[in-house]
């Protein structure tokens, strides 16, 4: 059966690296827990000075609040159907959610009995969620509403520059991230409030965090194959790999069938130079990349490995091979638990909160 392996040493190094970066730059560290979603891995962060944690749903906030976390940001716009649960959580912890307009705040205000922190979510031209950074009058109207509100406390701004994932290569990514920091500098002249800034690619390569108050990256705890293509890290930082059995060999097409498909890896893909997608990068037993050997396709339980002739011939039926997933967040969510390299079981909450 496919297993998701966790390289503890690499994950701990990744946590240390980002915690150091926060501390050296005078940033508050509010790491995003959506990638690992794990009680045990969450506890590893307690070794470092952190200001609070970040999650992507109210259910995940409830889970980590039960786990003793006292300050949690739900990095998702306030959903008026969840106001009762939000109010209840806010009675126990320092809860913060995002706002993208006055509308949802107004509807929720009468239900909130326990003050909820609000970050105004800014859209830095990603186009997913948030108020356009250039829409000053919209931003002012939310700030004005929050300042007059008894239910909500204005915490500043939250920004996820998810379009950083469109970069390919460190040079491009560094230019992108520096331009973003420049844009934040300008923005702060008009709106001098704390900014919480989030994506793993930018946080991985930035040296200058001037005008940023808090960071909340998540994926860096494991990284994954797509992050190496974006330019965030090199493969030696990737802390999770799938272990899959070789089930059959097809010599005429130089391909191997593994047990490991879309219900294990997800269907997130990167593109090969030839314009076709692929779903994972094969590594050896020492977690070193094997060039030219990739997870070419996935269906529900089947995966097809495209091999070099050398790899094809030396690989035997029944062998377990290792593969870096394209997107560790989705792979971990699907697998629902981890095994460390010495066989210890590490939990993931996905099975409990959907």
Chain residues binding its own copies by CB under 8 A are: 1-2, 34, 56-57, 59, 76-82, 100-101, 103-104, 107, 127-129, 132, 162, 245, 247-249, 252-253, 257, 259, 262-264, 266-268, 297, 299-302, 304, 317-318, 320, 329-330, 333-336, 350-351, 354
Shorter beta-carbon distance to its own copies: residue 209 or 325? 325
**Least separation, in Å, of the C-beta of 288 and its own copies?**
24
Looking up tokens 């501390």 gives 23
Q: Give the C-alpha separation, 301 to 314, whole Å.
A: 24
Of 12 and 104, nearer to its own copies (C-beta) is 104
User: Which lies closer to its own copies via its Cβ, residue 192 or residue 285?
Assistant: 285
Q: How far is the CB of 322 from its own copies (least distance, A)?
A: 15
Q: Name the residue nearer to its own copies (CB basis): 179 or 248.
A: 248
Q: Which helix (H) or strand (E) holds 94?
A: strand 94-99
Transcribe 291-330 into DSSP letters.
EEEEEEEE-SSEEEEE--HHHHHH--TT-EEEEEES-HHH
Burial 289-317 (b: 16+ CB within 10 A, else e): bbeebbbbbbeeeebbbbbeeebbeebee
Q: Kindly state the smallest distance separating residue 204's Cβ from its own copies, in Å.
A: 18
Q: Give the residue with the Cβ less far from its own copies, 78 or 89.
A: 78
Q: Which is nearer to its own copies, 127 or 169 (CB)?
A: 127
Quote the least distance from Cβ 208 to its own copies, whole Å: 27
Measured CA to CA, the distance from residue 26 to residue 235 in angstroms comes to: 28
Contact (Cβ atoms closer than 8 angstroms) between residue 123 and residue 101? no
Q: Show the tokens assigned to 77.
A: 């716009």
Q: Quote the crossing angle between the two packed helices 58-66 and 83-90, to the nearest 10°.
A: 30
- Nearer residue to its own copies within complex by CB, 213 or 346: 346
d(CA 183, CA 177): 10
- Following CA atoms 166, 168, 174, 175 in sequence, which dihedral angle do they give, to the nearest 10 degrees? -70
The set of residues, in sequence order, having a beta carbon less than 8 Å from that of 177 and lying 6+ positions away, is 164, 201, 202, 205, 206
Task: Report, in Å, the least distance between residue 283 CB and its own copies.
Answer: 20
Whose Cβ is closer to its own copies: residue 42's or residue 209's? 42
Q: What share of the chain is helix, strand, coil (3-state, %, to 5)?
A: 40, 30, 35
Q: For residues 40 and 138, which CB has a smaller minimum distance to its own copies in the complex?
A: 138
Q: How far is the CB of 262 from its own copies (least distance, A)?
A: 6
Question: Residue 266 Cβ, how far from its own copies at the closest point, in Å?
Answer: 6
Cβ–Cβ under 8 Å, residues 252 and 294: no
């Amino acid at each position: 059966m496919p297993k998701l392996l966790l390289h503890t040493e690499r994950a701990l190094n990744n946590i240390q690296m980002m915690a150091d970066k926060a501390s050296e730059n005078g940033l508050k560290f509010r790491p995003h827990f959506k990638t690992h979603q794990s009680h045990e891995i969450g506890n590893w962060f307690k070794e470092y000075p952190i200001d609070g944690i970040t999650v992507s749903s109210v259910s995940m906030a409830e889970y980590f609040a039960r786990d003793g976390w006292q300050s949690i940001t739900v990095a998702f716009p306030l959903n008026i159907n969840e106001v009762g649960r939000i109010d209840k959580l806010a009675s126990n912890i320092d809860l913060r959610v995002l706002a993208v307009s006055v509308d949802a705040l107004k509807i929720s205000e009468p239900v909130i009995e326990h003050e909820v922190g609000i970050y105004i979510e800014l859209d830095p031209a990603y186009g997913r969620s948030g108020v356009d950074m250039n829409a000053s009058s919209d931003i002012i109207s939310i700030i004005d509403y929050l300042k007059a509100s008894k239910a909500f406390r204005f915490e500043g701004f939250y920004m996820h520059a998810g379009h950083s994932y469109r970069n390919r290569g460190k040079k491009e990514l560094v230019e992108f991230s520096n331009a973003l920091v420049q844009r934040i500098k300008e923005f702060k002249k008009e709106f001098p409030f704390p900014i919480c800034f989030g994506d793993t690619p930018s946080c991985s390569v930035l040296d200058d965090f001037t005008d940023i108050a808090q960071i909340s990256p998540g994926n860096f705890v494991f990284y994954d194959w797509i992050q190496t293509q974006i330019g965030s890290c090199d493969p030696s930082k990737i802390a999770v790999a799938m272990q899959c059995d070789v089930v059959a060999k097809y010599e005429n097409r130089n391909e191997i069938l593994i047990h490991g498909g879309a219900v294990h890896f997800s269907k997130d893909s990167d593109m090969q130079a030839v314009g076709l997608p692929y779903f994972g990068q094969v590594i050896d037993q020492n977690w070193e990349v094997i060039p030219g050997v990739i997870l070419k396709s996935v269906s529900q339980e089947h995966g097809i490995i495209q091999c070099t002739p050398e790899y094809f011939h030396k690989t035997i039926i029944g062998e377990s091979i290792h593969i870096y997933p394209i997107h560790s967040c989705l792979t971990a969510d699907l697998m629902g638990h981890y095994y460390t390299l010495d066989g210890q079981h590490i939990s993931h909450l996905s099975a409990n909160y959907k």
